[in-house]
Structure 1
Amino acid sequence: MDIDESTAEDVGITGARLQPLAVIPTPGGPVLHMLRPGTALFSDFGEGFGEVYFSEVLPGRVKAWKRHTRQTQHFAVPVGRLKIVLYDDREHSPTRGVLCELELGRPDRYGLLRIPVNVWYGFTAVGAAPALICNCADTPHDPGEGMRLPADDPSIPYRWKAEDAQ
Protein backbone atom coordinates (compact mmCIF):
# COMPACT_ATOMS: atom_id res chain seq x y z
CA MET A 1 0.00 0.00 0.00
CA ASP A 2 1.56 3.29 -1.05
CA ILE A 3 0.88 6.13 1.40
CA ASP A 4 1.37 9.82 0.68
CA GLU A 5 4.41 10.75 2.75
CA SER A 6 4.05 14.50 2.23
CA THR A 7 1.83 15.06 5.27
CA ALA A 8 2.25 14.58 8.98
CA GLU A 9 -0.60 14.80 11.46
CA ASP A 10 -0.73 16.37 14.90
CA VAL A 11 -1.29 13.74 17.62
CA GLY A 12 -2.48 16.16 20.32
CA ILE A 13 0.81 17.16 21.96
CA THR A 14 2.70 20.21 20.71
CA GLY A 15 5.62 19.06 18.55
CA ALA A 16 4.55 15.40 18.39
CA ARG A 17 3.66 14.38 14.83
CA LEU A 18 2.79 11.18 13.02
CA GLN A 19 3.68 10.78 9.37
CA PRO A 20 2.22 7.83 7.43
CA LEU A 21 4.92 5.78 5.72
CA ALA A 22 4.85 3.80 2.48
CA VAL A 23 4.61 0.03 2.47
CA ILE A 24 5.45 -1.15 -1.03
CA PRO A 25 4.40 -4.71 -1.86
CA THR A 26 6.94 -6.87 -3.70
CA PRO A 27 6.80 -10.59 -4.53
CA GLY A 28 9.43 -11.43 -1.88
CA GLY A 29 7.91 -9.27 0.87
CA PRO A 30 7.14 -5.59 1.35
CA VAL A 31 9.60 -2.69 1.33
CA LEU A 32 9.00 -0.38 4.29
CA HIS A 33 10.00 3.27 4.06
CA MET A 34 11.12 5.04 7.21
CA LEU A 35 12.90 8.31 6.44
CA ARG A 36 14.15 10.10 3.35
CA PRO A 37 14.81 13.68 2.22
CA GLY A 38 11.68 15.58 1.26
CA THR A 39 9.38 13.89 3.77
CA ALA A 40 7.60 16.01 6.35
CA LEU A 41 9.71 15.03 9.38
CA PHE A 42 13.12 14.87 7.66
CA SER A 43 13.68 18.60 8.19
CA ASP A 44 14.14 17.84 11.92
CA PHE A 45 17.60 16.48 11.16
CA GLY A 46 19.25 19.53 9.60
CA GLU A 47 22.58 18.28 8.25
CA GLY A 48 22.25 14.68 9.44
CA PHE A 49 21.11 12.49 12.31
CA GLY A 50 22.58 11.19 15.55
CA GLU A 51 21.96 7.46 15.46
CA VAL A 52 19.55 4.72 14.41
CA TYR A 53 18.82 1.74 16.64
CA PHE A 54 16.27 -1.04 17.06
CA SER A 55 14.67 -2.18 20.29
CA GLU A 56 12.64 -5.35 20.73
CA VAL A 57 9.62 -5.09 23.01
CA LEU A 58 8.34 -8.34 24.50
CA PRO A 59 4.63 -8.99 24.99
CA GLY A 60 3.47 -8.08 28.49
CA ARG A 61 6.49 -5.84 29.15
CA VAL A 62 6.31 -2.09 29.57
CA LYS A 63 9.23 0.17 28.75
CA ALA A 64 8.30 3.39 30.56
CA TRP A 65 8.82 6.22 31.40
CA LYS A 66 11.58 8.09 29.61
CA ARG A 67 12.21 11.56 28.25
CA HIS A 68 15.16 13.31 26.68
CA THR A 69 16.32 16.83 27.43
CA ARG A 70 18.15 17.38 24.10
CA GLN A 71 17.26 14.47 21.80
CA THR A 72 14.19 14.17 19.55
CA GLN A 73 12.96 10.60 18.93
CA HIS A 74 11.59 9.32 15.60
CA PHE A 75 9.90 5.92 16.03
CA ALA A 76 8.69 3.46 13.41
CA VAL A 77 7.35 -0.03 14.15
CA PRO A 78 8.14 -2.33 11.20
CA VAL A 79 7.40 -5.60 13.05
CA GLY A 80 4.51 -6.25 15.41
CA ARG A 81 2.27 -3.71 17.05
CA LEU A 82 3.11 -1.20 19.77
CA LYS A 83 1.04 0.89 22.15
CA ILE A 84 2.90 4.16 22.71
CA VAL A 85 1.84 6.65 25.38
CA LEU A 86 3.08 10.25 25.47
CA TYR A 87 2.70 12.67 28.37
CA ASP A 88 3.44 16.40 28.16
CA ASP A 89 4.46 18.03 31.44
CA ARG A 90 6.57 20.78 29.85
CA GLU A 91 6.05 23.94 31.90
CA HIS A 92 5.27 26.37 29.06
CA SER A 93 3.65 23.95 26.61
CA PRO A 94 0.11 24.73 25.42
CA THR A 95 -0.60 20.99 25.74
CA ARG A 96 0.77 20.63 29.28
CA GLY A 97 -1.06 17.82 31.09
CA VAL A 98 -2.15 16.06 27.87
CA LEU A 99 -1.80 12.30 27.50
CA CYS A 100 -1.73 10.71 24.05
CA GLU A 101 -2.14 6.98 23.45
CA LEU A 102 -1.33 5.59 19.98
CA GLU A 103 -0.97 2.20 18.35
CA LEU A 104 1.67 1.87 15.67
CA GLY A 105 2.57 -1.04 13.45
CA ARG A 106 1.48 -2.97 10.43
CA PRO A 107 -0.67 -3.54 8.53
CA ASP A 108 -2.77 -0.40 9.02
CA ARG A 109 -0.79 2.02 11.19
CA TYR A 110 2.75 2.07 9.85
CA GLY A 111 4.19 5.54 10.36
CA LEU A 112 6.95 7.70 11.76
CA LEU A 113 6.21 9.24 15.17
CA ARG A 114 8.22 12.28 16.26
CA ILE A 115 8.52 12.68 20.03
CA PRO A 116 9.85 16.11 20.95
CA VAL A 117 12.34 16.96 23.65
CA ASN A 118 11.03 16.79 27.25
CA VAL A 119 7.90 14.75 26.44
CA TRP A 120 7.60 11.56 28.52
CA TYR A 121 6.99 8.33 26.61
CA GLY A 122 6.47 4.65 27.27
CA PHE A 123 5.43 1.67 25.20
CA THR A 124 4.45 -1.98 25.21
CA ALA A 125 3.89 -4.68 22.60
CA VAL A 126 0.26 -5.30 21.70
CA GLY A 127 -0.76 -8.94 21.25
CA ALA A 128 1.16 -12.17 21.72
CA ALA A 129 4.18 -11.41 19.50
CA PRO A 130 7.18 -9.18 20.16
CA ALA A 131 7.31 -5.79 18.44
CA LEU A 132 10.37 -4.14 16.93
CA ILE A 133 10.78 -0.40 17.20
CA CYS A 134 13.28 1.57 15.14
CA ASN A 135 14.41 4.94 16.49
CA CYS A 136 16.20 7.48 14.35
CA ALA A 137 17.32 10.12 16.84
CA ASP A 138 18.58 13.55 15.90
CA THR A 139 21.66 13.34 18.17
CA PRO A 140 23.90 10.46 19.31
CA HIS A 141 22.96 8.73 22.56
CA ASP A 142 24.20 10.52 25.68
CA PRO A 143 23.34 8.68 28.91
CA GLY A 144 23.51 11.95 30.86
CA GLU A 145 20.69 13.71 28.99
CA GLY A 146 17.85 11.21 29.40
CA MET A 147 15.56 10.90 32.41
CA ARG A 148 13.63 7.83 33.60
CA LEU A 149 10.69 7.16 35.89
CA PRO A 150 9.12 3.82 36.87
CA ALA A 151 6.11 2.67 34.83
CA ASP A 152 3.81 3.26 37.82
CA ASP A 153 5.16 6.69 38.80
CA PRO A 154 2.27 8.78 40.21
CA SER A 155 3.52 12.00 38.56
CA ILE A 156 2.31 10.66 35.19
CA PRO A 157 -1.49 10.22 35.17
CA TYR A 158 -1.52 6.97 33.21
CA ARG A 159 -1.92 3.43 34.49
CA TRP A 160 -0.68 0.58 32.35
CA LYS A 161 -3.21 -2.24 32.30
CA ALA A 162 -2.36 -5.56 33.94
CA GLU A 163 -1.96 -7.22 30.53
CA ASP A 164 0.58 -4.51 29.59
CA ALA A 165 2.92 -5.18 32.53
CA GLN A 166 3.72 -8.70 33.64
Structure 2
Amino acid sequence: MDEVSKAPAFIQGMEYWPLREIPTEGGSVLHMLRADAPHFSRFGEVYFSECLPGAVKAWKRHKEMTQNFAVPVGRIRVVIYDDREGSPTRGTVAEYLLGRPDHYALLRIPPMLWYGFTAADDAVGIICNCADMTHRPDESERIAPDSDEIPYRWAEAERT
Protein backbone atom coordinates (compact mmCIF):
# COMPACT_ATOMS: atom_id res chain seq x y z
CA MET A 1 0.00 0.00 0.00
CA ASP A 2 1.24 3.49 -0.79
CA GLU A 3 2.08 5.65 2.19
CA VAL A 4 1.56 9.37 2.56
CA SER A 5 3.77 11.13 5.07
CA LYS A 6 3.93 14.64 6.46
CA ALA A 7 7.30 13.77 8.04
CA PRO A 8 10.55 15.02 6.48
CA ALA A 9 12.92 12.77 4.50
CA PHE A 10 10.45 9.91 3.99
CA ILE A 11 11.60 9.00 0.45
CA GLN A 12 15.10 7.68 -0.09
CA GLY A 13 17.43 10.45 -1.23
CA MET A 14 15.15 13.26 -0.08
CA GLU A 15 16.58 15.69 2.43
CA TYR A 16 14.80 18.19 4.65
CA TRP A 17 16.85 20.90 6.38
CA PRO A 18 15.27 23.45 8.74
CA LEU A 19 16.44 26.95 7.79
CA ARG A 20 17.39 29.95 9.89
CA GLU A 21 15.12 32.91 10.05
CA ILE A 22 16.76 35.87 11.74
CA PRO A 23 14.27 38.47 12.98
CA THR A 24 15.39 42.05 12.45
CA GLU A 25 13.64 45.34 13.09
CA GLY A 26 12.75 45.91 9.44
CA GLY A 27 11.88 42.30 8.57
CA SER A 28 13.49 38.89 8.83
CA VAL A 29 16.60 37.64 7.05
CA LEU A 30 15.90 34.19 5.58
CA HIS A 31 18.78 31.81 4.98
CA MET A 32 18.48 29.24 2.20
CA LEU A 33 21.74 27.64 1.03
CA ARG A 34 25.44 28.18 1.57
CA ALA A 35 28.39 26.82 -0.40
CA ASP A 36 29.81 25.34 2.83
CA ALA A 37 26.59 23.46 3.74
CA PRO A 38 26.94 19.66 3.82
CA HIS A 39 24.06 19.26 1.34
CA PHE A 40 25.37 21.80 -1.21
CA SER A 41 26.75 20.22 -4.39
CA ARG A 42 27.08 22.96 -7.01
CA PHE A 43 25.33 26.02 -8.38
CA GLY A 44 23.38 25.93 -11.63
CA GLU A 45 20.65 28.56 -11.41
CA VAL A 46 18.16 30.15 -9.02
CA TYR A 47 14.58 30.90 -9.94
CA PHE A 48 11.27 31.64 -8.22
CA SER A 49 8.01 29.92 -9.05
CA GLU A 50 4.76 31.57 -8.03
CA CYS A 51 1.82 29.35 -7.14
CA LEU A 52 -1.64 30.90 -7.07
CA PRO A 53 -4.32 29.58 -4.68
CA GLY A 54 -6.10 26.62 -6.24
CA ALA A 55 -3.43 26.09 -8.91
CA VAL A 56 -1.60 22.77 -9.16
CA LYS A 57 1.82 22.61 -10.77
CA ALA A 58 2.42 18.91 -11.39
CA TRP A 59 3.86 16.43 -12.36
CA LYS A 60 7.48 16.90 -13.34
CA ARG A 61 10.77 15.09 -12.85
CA HIS A 62 14.36 15.82 -13.77
CA LYS A 63 16.71 13.18 -15.14
CA GLU A 64 19.92 14.87 -13.86
CA MET A 65 19.04 17.98 -11.85
CA THR A 66 18.93 18.17 -8.07
CA GLN A 67 16.61 20.88 -6.79
CA ASN A 68 16.71 22.78 -3.52
CA PHE A 69 13.30 24.27 -2.64
CA ALA A 70 12.54 26.85 0.04
CA VAL A 71 9.33 28.87 0.44
CA PRO A 72 9.99 32.41 1.74
CA VAL A 73 6.46 33.69 0.98
CA GLY A 74 3.25 31.80 1.74
CA ARG A 75 2.95 28.10 2.37
CA ILE A 76 3.17 25.39 -0.28
CA ARG A 77 2.41 21.67 -0.22
CA VAL A 78 5.08 19.78 -2.20
CA VAL A 79 4.24 16.19 -3.13
CA ILE A 80 6.90 13.69 -4.18
CA TYR A 81 6.35 10.29 -5.82
CA ASP A 82 9.06 7.64 -6.09
CA ASP A 83 8.75 5.26 -9.04
CA ARG A 84 12.50 4.59 -9.38
CA GLU A 85 13.43 1.01 -10.23
CA GLY A 86 15.24 -0.62 -7.33
CA SER A 87 14.41 2.12 -4.81
CA PRO A 88 13.44 0.81 -1.35
CA THR A 89 10.78 3.55 -1.24
CA ARG A 90 9.36 2.81 -4.71
CA GLY A 91 5.60 3.43 -4.78
CA THR A 92 5.74 5.91 -1.91
CA VAL A 93 4.01 9.29 -1.99
CA ALA A 94 5.18 11.90 0.51
CA GLU A 95 3.84 15.38 1.27
CA TYR A 96 5.97 18.21 2.61
CA LEU A 97 4.59 21.50 3.87
CA LEU A 98 7.01 24.36 3.28
CA GLY A 99 6.73 28.00 4.29
CA ARG A 100 6.56 30.45 7.10
CA PRO A 101 6.10 30.74 9.97
CA ASP A 102 6.33 27.10 11.06
CA HIS A 103 7.85 25.19 8.13
CA TYR A 104 10.68 27.33 6.79
CA ALA A 105 13.03 24.64 5.49
CA LEU A 106 15.03 23.49 2.50
CA LEU A 107 13.70 20.46 0.62
CA ARG A 108 16.36 18.77 -1.50
CA ILE A 109 14.88 16.72 -4.37
CA PRO A 110 17.29 14.39 -6.17
CA PRO A 111 16.86 13.41 -9.84
CA MET A 112 14.22 10.94 -11.04
CA LEU A 113 11.53 11.72 -8.46
CA TRP A 114 8.17 13.05 -9.62
CA TYR A 115 7.06 16.23 -7.87
CA GLY A 116 4.27 18.75 -7.88
CA PHE A 117 3.04 21.54 -5.66
CA THR A 118 0.10 23.72 -4.75
CA ALA A 119 -0.54 26.68 -2.47
CA ALA A 120 -1.45 25.34 0.96
CA ASP A 121 -3.54 28.40 1.87
CA ASP A 122 -5.76 30.96 0.18
CA ALA A 123 -2.69 33.09 -0.55
CA VAL A 124 0.04 33.11 -3.19
CA GLY A 125 3.06 30.98 -2.36
CA ILE A 126 6.52 31.44 -3.84
CA ILE A 127 9.08 28.65 -4.16
CA CYS A 128 12.72 29.53 -4.57
CA ASN A 129 14.66 26.79 -6.37
CA CYS A 130 18.45 26.74 -6.24
CA ALA A 131 19.16 24.02 -8.80
CA ASP A 132 22.54 22.37 -9.28
CA MET A 133 22.50 22.85 -13.06
CA THR A 134 20.98 25.22 -15.60
CA HIS A 135 17.62 24.32 -17.12
CA ARG A 136 17.60 22.20 -20.28
CA PRO A 137 14.18 21.27 -21.72
CA ASP A 138 15.38 17.79 -22.78
CA GLU A 139 16.45 16.98 -19.21
CA SER A 140 12.95 16.91 -17.68
CA GLU A 141 9.67 15.08 -18.18
CA ARG A 142 6.07 16.10 -17.46
CA ILE A 143 2.76 14.35 -17.03
CA ALA A 144 -0.71 15.73 -16.21
CA PRO A 145 -1.67 16.51 -12.59
CA ASP A 146 -4.49 13.93 -12.73
CA SER A 147 -2.38 11.16 -14.32
CA ASP A 148 -3.17 7.61 -13.22
CA GLU A 149 0.60 6.94 -13.25
CA ILE A 150 0.85 8.60 -9.82
CA PRO A 151 -1.37 7.45 -6.92
CA TYR A 152 -2.20 10.93 -5.64
CA ARG A 153 -5.31 13.05 -6.17
CA TRP A 154 -4.86 16.79 -5.75
CA ALA A 155 -8.60 17.45 -5.32
CA GLU A 156 -8.82 14.93 -2.44
CA ALA A 157 -5.77 16.46 -0.76
CA GLU A 158 -7.42 19.89 -0.80
CA ARG A 159 -10.25 18.55 1.39
CA THR A 160 -7.97 17.12 4.08
TM-score normalised to structure 2 length: 0.91
Unmatched runs of 5 consecutive residues or more in structure 2: 1-6
Unmatched runs of 5 consecutive residues or more in structure 1: 1-8
Amino acid of the structure 2 residue aligned with 1:34: M
Match of 2:19 among 21, 39, 49: 21
8 Å contact from structure 1 (residues 15, 115) kept in 2: yes
8 Å contact from structure 2 (residues 8, 96) kept in 1: no
Could you say which residue in structure 2 is the equivalent of 1:155? 149
Residue 40 (1) aligns with residue 34 (2): no
Residue 63 (1) aligns with residue 57 (2): yes
Matches within 5 A, 1:1-166: 11-42=9-40, 44-45=41-42, 49-161=43-155, 164=158
Give how far 1:162 is off.
Answer: 6.0
Quote the RMSD (CA, aligned, Å).
1.4
**C-alpha separation in 2, matches of 1:154 and 1:163:** 16
8 Å contact from structure 1 (residues 88, 119) kept in 2: yes
Give how far 1:38 is off.
Answer: 2.8
TM-score normalised to structure 1 length: 0.88
**C-alpha separation in 1, matches of 2:118 and 2:18:** 20
Amino acid of the structure 1 residue aligned with 2:48: F
Could you say which residue in structure 2 is the equivalent of 1:3? none
Structure 1 runs of 4+ with >4 Å offset: none
8 Å contact from structure 1 (residues 83, 101) kept in 2: yes
Deviations 1:42-90 (A, max 9, x none): 1x22xxx110000100000000000000101110000000000000000
Amino acid of the structure 2 residue aligned with 1:118: M
Structure 1 residues 163, 11: CA separation in 2 closer, same or farther (over 3 Å shift)? closer
**C-alpha separation in 2, matches of 1:41 and 1:113:** 10
Q: How many aligned residue pairs are there?
A: 152
**C-alpha separation in 2, matches of 1:12 and 1:162:** 21
8 Å contact from structure 1 (residues 19, 40) kept in 2: no
